[in-house]
């Protein structure tokens, strides 16, 4: 059974590097592998050896600006199995544009969006032909695809060799994939605000920068150790306005039926799932607002709270604890509006609901 995230990289990977003539060299790499069926029968140690080989790239230097200083960025997107046996990507053009924006924000050459989309398609096609991607399972329909499997695609930048503090002028872009299940497991859906700060105004919070996730990881692990599912960040200046979860955007449905999400500033990542939910809300006639929203307002006025992201999809928050006080939403259950977004988004992604937005892209080259 596919898990949320495991380092079981599929055998076909992609590697590109920026060249002096303003072009990118590209290649699809076939890593050592058996058939999927044969690999499933391997012992844990035998499987570990294969995964180590797939996670090693001789071309990439270990001492560089990415490993030493976090000078890198990444993306995350998914390909979803369809009933007809195909795989479709969810809004890869948006990930491509955000990757280019992140790389430009880090003052390195931006990977062209058209190369990004074609590279991801080629990677998915190669792994599908080799039999390493999941197939559609009608059992997923029973819980609106909450436990559905997909292919998680991870593109990331990687710098040339270097030990001094510097920019990356000839970066690589690496793309790998792994099969995943659900990110948040049903059960504990409690959240805890953290005094840690994810991003400061004027910083890199708007970039999907590798270094940003150090604080996110620490905050989430501390929250889990205290019995919570998720850590929630507040603004850096006043510590009173909601900004993000550890790796997801936040939504609050108020008692007046307005859906509020924190406004995009340079401290909030422009999530693609977030953007999609705003479109779904507008299509359904739900009033939406992008603005600052305080802890006090949420505790007094919110009736449903949920998070969104590529990994998490749409997942409800049963309660938020802040400074020892707890607010529970919808009696600790998933709310009707949250369930609508979950069912509709997953339905579009898995082909059970018509894609009227043109978001899904078939993995054909």
Q: Mind listing the pLDDT tens digit for each residue in 101-159?
A: 999 999 999 999 999 999 999 999 999 999 999 999 999 999 899 889 999 999 999 99
Nearest by Cα to 75 from 258, 269, 282, 234:
269
Instruction: Report pLDDT for 5.
Output: 63
Instruction: Report pLDDT for 13.
Output: 98
C-alpha distance across the termini of the chain, in Å: 29
| Contact indicator for 344, 306 with CB cutoff of 8 Å | no
Q: Is 65 helix (H, G, I), strand (E, B) or coil?
A: helix
Query: Quick one: average pLDDT of 217-233?
Result: 96
**Catalytic residue (one of 78, 88, 208, 220):** 208
Same domain? 312 vs 200: yes
Task: Place 184 in a pLDDT band, splitting at 50, 70 and 90.
Answer: low
CA distance 10 to 128: 10
In a domain, 349, yes or no: no
CATH of the domain at 115: 3.30.470.10
Question: Is the pLDDT score of 3 beyond 60?
Answer: no
Same domain? 316 vs 213: yes
Same domain? 49 vs 176: yes
Same domain? 21 vs 167: yes
Task: Tell me, yes or no, if 240 is annotated catalytic.
Answer: no
Higher pLDDT, 2 or 341: 341
Total of domains in the chain: 2
Same domain? 129 vs 199: no
Same domain? 30 vs 118: yes
Same domain? 219 vs 308: yes
Instruction: Report pLDDT for 365.
Output: 58
In a domain, 24, yes or no: yes
Within 10 angstroms of residue 284's Cβ, the number of other Cβ atoms is 12
In a domain, 76, yes or no: yes
In a domain, 55, yes or no: yes
Supply the range of the domain harboring residue 21: 12-180
Same domain? 19 vs 154: yes
| Contact indicator for 55, 167 with CB cutoff of 8 Å | no
**Range name among 36-40, 171-175, 187-191 with the lowest pLDDT average:** 187-191
Question: Is the pLDDT score of 182 beyond 80?
Answer: no
Same domain? 175 vs 194: no
Q: What is the pTM of this model?
A: 0.95
Task: Place 1 in a pLDDT band, splitting at 50, 70 and 90.
Answer: very low
Q: Which of 116, 145, 180 is the last residue of a domain?
A: 180
CATH of the domain at 314: 3.20.10.10
In a domain, 348, yes or no: no
Same domain? 205 vs 158: no
CA distance 361 to 125: 13
Same domain? 119 vs 215: no
């Amino acid at each position: 059974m596919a898990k949320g995230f495991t380092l079981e990289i599929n055998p076909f990977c992609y590697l590109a590097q920026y060249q002096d003539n303003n072009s990118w060299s590209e290649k699809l790499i076939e890593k050592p592998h058996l058939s999927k069926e044969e690999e499933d029968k391997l012992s844990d140690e035998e499987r570990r050896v294969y995964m180590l080989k797939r996670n090693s790239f001789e071309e990439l230097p270990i001492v560089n600006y990415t490993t030493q200083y976090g000078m890198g960025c990444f993306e995350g997107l998914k390909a979803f199995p369809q009933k007809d046996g195909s795989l479709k990507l969810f809004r890869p053009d948006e990930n491509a544009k955000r990757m280019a924006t992140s790389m430009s924000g880090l003052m390195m050459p931006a990977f062209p969006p058209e190369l990004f989309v074609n590279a991801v398609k080629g990677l998915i096609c190669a792994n599908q032909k080799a039999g390493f991607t999941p197939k559609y399972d009608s059992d997923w329909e029973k819980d609106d695809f909450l436990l559905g499997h997909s292919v998680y695609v991870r593109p990331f930048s990687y710098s040339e060799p270097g030990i001094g503090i510097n920019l990356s002028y000839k970066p690589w872009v690496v793309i790998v994939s792994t099969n995943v299940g659900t990110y948040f497991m049903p059960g504990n859906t409690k959240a805890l605000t953290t005094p840690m700060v994810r991003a400061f105004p004027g910083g890199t919070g708007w970039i999907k920068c590798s270094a940003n996730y150090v604080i996110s990881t620490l905050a989430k692990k501390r929250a889990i150790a205290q019995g919570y599912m998720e850590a929630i960040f507040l603004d850096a200046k006043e510590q009173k306005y909601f900004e993000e979860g550890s790796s997801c955007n936040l939504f609050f449905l108020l008692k007046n039926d307005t859906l509020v999400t924190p406004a995009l500033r340079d401290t909030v990542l422009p999530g693609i799932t977030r953007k999609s939910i705003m479109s779904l809300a507008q299509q359904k006639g739900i009033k939406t607002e992008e603005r600052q929203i305080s802890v006090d307002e949420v505790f007094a006025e919110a009736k449903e709270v949920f998070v969104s992201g590529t990994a998490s999809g749409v997942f409800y928050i049963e309660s938020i604890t802040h400074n020892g006080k707890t607010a529970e939403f919808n009696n600790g259950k998933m709310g009707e509006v949250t369930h609508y977004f979950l069912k509709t988004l997953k339905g579009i992604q898995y082909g059970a609901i018509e894609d009227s937005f043109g978001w899904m892209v078939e993995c054909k080259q």
